[in-house]
Amino acid sequence: MFKYSALLALVTLVPALANAQSQVWGQCGGNGWSGPTTCVSGSTCVKQNDWYSQCLPGSSNPTPTPSTTPTSQPPNPPSSTSSSTITDPTPSGTPTTGNPYTGHEIYLSPYYAAEVDTAAAAISDSSLKAKALKVKEIPTFIWFDIVAKTPDLGTYLKDASEKGKRENKKYIVQIVVYDLPDRDCAAKASNGEFAIANDGENKYKDYIAKLVTEIKKYPDVRVIAVIEPDSLANMITNMNVAKCSGAAEVYKRATIYALKELNKVGVYMYLDAGHAGWLGWQANLAPAAQLYAQIYKDAGSPQFVRGLATNVANYNALRASSPDPVTQGNANYDEIHYIEALAPLLSSQGFPAKFLVDQGRSGVQNIRNEWGDWCNVRNAGFGARPTTNTGSSHIDSIVWIKPGGECDGTSDSSAPRYDSMCGKESAHKPAPEAGQWFQAYFENLVKFANPAL
Stretch of 214-222, 274-282, 389-397, 402-410 contacting ligand BGC, by CB under 6 A: 402-410
- Residue 434 within binding range of ligand BGC, rule CB under 6 A: yes
- Residue 315 within binding range of ligand BGC, rule CB under 6 A: no
Residue tagged active-site, from 159, 179, 182, 184: 184
CB atoms within 10 A of CB 368: 23
Tell me whether strands 52-57 and 43-49 are parallel, antiparallel or unpaired.
antiparallel
Closest CA to 177 of 302, 292, 312, 298: 312
- Residue 272 within binding range of ligand BGC, rule CB under 6 A: no
- Residue 435 within binding range of ligand BGC, rule CB under 6 A: yes
Closest CA to 178 of 407, 445, 442, 435: 435
> Which residue lies nearer to ligand BGC by CB, 45 or 177?
177
Phi, psi of 280 (to 5 degrees): -80, -5
Q: Which of residues 128-147 bind ligand BGC (CB under 6 A)?
A: 143, 145
CB of 114 to ligand BGC, least distance (A): 14
Residues that bind ligand BGC (rule: CB under 6 A) add up to a total of: 9
> Which residue lies nearer to ligand BGC by CB, 164 or 403?
403
SS3 426: coil
Q: Is residue 269 within a helix (H) or strand (E), and if so which, with residue range?
A: strand 268-272
- Residue 402 within binding range of ligand BGC, rule CB under 6 A: yes
Active site residue 334: no
SS3 411: coil
- Residue 408 within binding range of ligand BGC, rule CB under 6 A: yes
Q: Which of residues 285-314 bind ligand BGC (CB under 6 A)?
A: none
- Residue 362 within binding range of ligand BGC, rule CB under 6 A: no
Residue 47: strand pairing partners:
53
CB of 434 to ligand BGC, least distance (A): 4
- Residue 30 within binding range of ligand BGC, rule CB under 6 A: no
CB of 103 to ligand BGC, least distance (A): 28
Residue tagged active-site, from 230, 358, 373, 419: 230
Q: Which of residues 242-261 bind ligand BGC (CB under 6 A)?
A: none
Give me the amino acid identity at 191.
Answer: N
- Residue 152 within binding range of ligand BGC, rule CB under 6 A: no
Closest CA to 407 of 203, 93, 143: 143
> Which residue lies nearer to ligand BGC by CB, 52 or 281?
52
Give the CA distances from residue 126 to residues 121, 123, 375, 385, 412, in Å, rounded to whole numbers and listed in that order. 10, 7, 29, 23, 32
> Which residue lies nearer to ligand BGC by CB, 190 or 327?
190
CB of 433 to ligand BGC, least distance (A): 8
Stretch of 19-27, 115-123, 162-170, 398-406 contacting ligand BGC, by CB under 6 A: 398-406
- Residue 406 within binding range of ligand BGC, rule CB under 6 A: yes
Angle at 64 between CA 60 and CA 69, to 5 degrees: 110
Give the integer Cα–Cα distance in Å for 76 and 71: 10
Closest CA to 223 of 163, 284, 154: 154
When CB distances to ligand BGC are compared, the closest residue is 435
**CB-side exposure of 188: number of CA atoms within 13 Å?**
15
x/- site string to ligand BGC, residues 87 to 126, per CB under 6 A? ----------------------------------------
Give residues with Cβ within 8 angstroms of 195, minimum separation 6: 181, 182
Residue 356: strand pairing partners:
309, 397
- Residue 358 within binding range of ligand BGC, rule CB under 6 A: no
Give the integer Cα–Cα distance in Å for 123 and 225: 33
- Residue 190 within binding range of ligand BGC, rule CB under 6 A: yes
DSSP letter for each residue of 286-313: HHHHHHHHHHHHHTT--TTEEEEEESTT
Stretch of 34-42, 304-312, 353-361, 403-411 contacting ligand BGC, by CB under 6 A: 403-411
Phi, psi of 251 (to 5 degrees): -55, -45
CB of 191 to ligand BGC, least distance (A): 8
Stretch of 65-73, 232-240, 257-265, 400-408 contacting ligand BGC, by CB under 6 A: 400-408
Active site residue 373: no
Residues forming the active site: 184, 230
> Which residues in this chain contact ligand BGC in the complex, by CB under 6 A?
143, 145, 190, 402-403, 406, 408, 434-435
